[in-house]
Amino acid sequence: MAQKLNLKGQTFEWLTVLEPAPDLRKYYTAWLCKCRCGVVKPVGTFDLRRGTATHCGCRTHELRSAATTKHGYSRTNEYKIWRGIIQRTTDATQHSYHRYGGRDIKLCTEWEEFTTFLKDMGERPSKEHSIERVDNDKGYNKDNCVWATRKEQGRNKSTNRHIIYKDTKYILADLAELSGVSAAVLALRLNNGWTPEQAVEIPLYRNQDGTSKEAQYLYRHEMLTLTDMSRCSGISVETLRGRLQMGWSVEKTVETPLFVNEYLGAGRTKPAKPLTGREHPCRPITESEDSLLDDILSSF
């Protein structure tokens, strides 16, 4: 049979054990302890042996004050940022550990002291700034860290999309800022097969109320929409847009006759007739071409 634990007479920092205390609740043992300040109170056996109880509570304010005045930054954002670095580089239970400590990203030995970290980095310039590693494959140290805004950090992500435009490499955000076309529109255009030049240089027009307006293209000294070109050429808007996305010039897009697969793929039973009553720079379909298309369709 195990010997019963006896803590009588033992001292745990400011607490001295006097005698066993009455059981406060089932499965909980406690001891009457006297604090240096003179207060006698029951303290649990587990708390005494673990070290979580070292005084009656009289030192709580004193200890908190000491922690705060050690360097005067314990409640600042710089201190929280520093603590965050330690957690994500050392604590395997932290949700982002796999992207930091799990990749062997470490805090340098000098920065294990907050005062050294603060001396090297200084206070952050504004509330918009947080710590940024210049090289994402290296750890946290004086030579690899700067204060940066969220926008600046976004340009340093390993997941950024890089685009070659006119022999210069850009990330999508920079190209959007340079061209005035939003990053979302650029990404959509590129995903649809547009070249970087087309994605950047073909404007996105908008109405006065801010809604999207159909883009216009320069053709024979006149600005035309795809709808305009479709009406006068008999080629569907979808086919015209597809040709432009493949890199065709506007002239080639409008003036090249329909191929049979293009014509059938558009889902139309007959090409649109040219506009009448107005002069239009597009070449209308001739009667012979219209008859030829009817013959082609009748053969299927």
Q: Give the 3-state secondary structure of the chain.
A: CCCCCCCCCCEECCEEEEEEEEEEECCEEEEEEEECCCCEEEEEHHHHHHCCCCCCCCCHHHHHHHHHHCCCCCCCHHHHHHHHHHHHHHCCCCCCHHHCHHHCCCECHHHHCHHHHHHHHCCCCCCCEEEEECCCCCCECCCCEEEEEHHHHHCCCCCCCEEEECCEEEEHHHHHHHHCCCHHHHHHHHHCCCCHHHHHHCCCEECCCCCEECCEEEECCEEEEHHHHHHHHCCCHHHHHHHHHCCCCHHHHHHCCCCHHHHHHCCCCCCCCCCCCCCCCCCCCCHHHHHHHHHHHHCC
CA atoms of 296 and 28, how far apart (whole Å): 94
CA atoms of 254 and 219, how far apart (whole Å): 9
Q: What is the dihedral of CA 28, 29, 34, 37, to 10 degrees?
A: -20
37 and 91 inside one domain? no
The number of folded domains in the chain is 4
- pLDDT of 18 reads 92
- pLDDT of 290 reads 59
55 and 124 inside one domain? no
- pLDDT of 13 reads 87
- pLDDT of 140 reads 93
Residue 1 domain-assigned (yes or no): no
30 and 48 inside one domain? yes
Which of 170, 202, 234 marks a domain boundary? Answer: 202
* Range 63-74 burial, b when 16+ CB lie within 10 A, else e: eeeeeeeeeebe
- pLDDT of 141 reads 92
150 and 170 inside one domain? no
Residue 50 domain-assigned (yes or no): yes
Instruction: Report the candidate in 86, 76, 132 with the shortest Cα–Cα distance to residue 109.
Output: 86
Residue 130 domain-assigned (yes or no): yes
- pLDDT of 159 reads 65
42 and 93 inside one domain? no
Name the residue range of residue 96's domain: 74-154
146 and 91 inside one domain? yes
Residue 95 domain-assigned (yes or no): yes
Residue 2 domain-assigned (yes or no): no
- pLDDT of 242 reads 85
Residue 123 domain-assigned (yes or no): yes
187 and 234 inside one domain? no
Tens-digit pLDDT string for the chain (300 aa): 456 788 888 999 889 999 988 766 655 788 899 998 889 989 988 888 888 888 888 887 666 665 555 566 777 888 899 999 998 988 888 888 888 888 888 889 899 888 899 899 998 888 888 888 888 888 999 999 988 887 777 666 666 777 888 888 887 877 777 777 777 778 877 877 788 888 777 766 554 454 455 666 777 777 778 888 888 888 888 888 888 888 888 888 888 887 644 444 444 434 444 433 344 444 545 566 556 656 655 655
Contact 214, 205 (CB under 8 A): yes
CA atoms of 185 and 103, how far apart (whole Å): 34
Residue 87 domain-assigned (yes or no): yes
For 299, phi then psi, to 5°, come to -80, -10
133 and 168 inside one domain? no
Contact 228, 215 (CB under 8 A): no
130 and 185 inside one domain? no
Instruction: Report the candidate in 216, 194, 190, 218 with the shortest Cα–Cα distance to residue 205.
Output: 216
Residue in the block written with tokens 């009553």: 277
148 and 88 inside one domain? yes
For 262, phi then psi, to 5°, come to -65, -45
26 and 47 inside one domain? yes
Predicted confidence (pLDDT) per residue in 121-141, tens digit: 998 888 888 888 888 888 999
- pLDDT of 264 reads 43
Residue in the block written with tokens 């955000």: 173
Contact 131, 120 (CB under 8 A): no
131 and 195 inside one domain? no
Residue 208 domain-assigned (yes or no): no
